[in-house]
């Protein structure tokens, strides 16, 4: 999976974040994988992803300086690769039948 900061992302519903002084622990209940979010800023960004139309918009809204966005993008790419963050499911069309 490649990470695209111009797409919408969210914390995987099967992942729990536990705040820690260094950032957070992320535990995936499906894979039983544990990841470390090594800063409070990254933790807050991950929690805010679902509130914004794109990961880039979430970074901007969180006030992450332009010069640091590649570093955060790399961290998000790792989290996406591990399944900790996912693209939200596409909403069903209002008139679609089941």
pTM: 0.87
Segments of the chain with pLDDT less than 70: 1-2, 91-98
| pLDDT score, position 92 | 46
Burial pattern 62-90, b for ≥16 Cβ within 10 A else e, equals bebeeeebeebbebbbebbebbbbbeeee
Which of 11, 45, 40, 43 lies closest to 28, judged by CA? Answer: 11
Other Cβ atoms less than 10 A from the Cβ of 6: the count is 9
């Amino acid at each position: 999976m490649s990470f695209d900061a111009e797409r919408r992302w969210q914390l995987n519903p099967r992942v729990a974040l536990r705040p820690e002084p260094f950032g957070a622990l992320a535990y995936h209940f499906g894979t039983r994988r544990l990841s470390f979010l090594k800063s409070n800023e990254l933790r807050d960004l991950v929690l805010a992803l679902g509130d914004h139309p794109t990961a880039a918009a979430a970074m901007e809204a969180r006030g992450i300086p332009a010069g640091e966005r590649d570093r955060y993008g790399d961290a998000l790419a790792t989290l996406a690769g591990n399944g900790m963050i996912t693209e939200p499911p596409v909403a069903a069309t209002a008139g679609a039948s089941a």
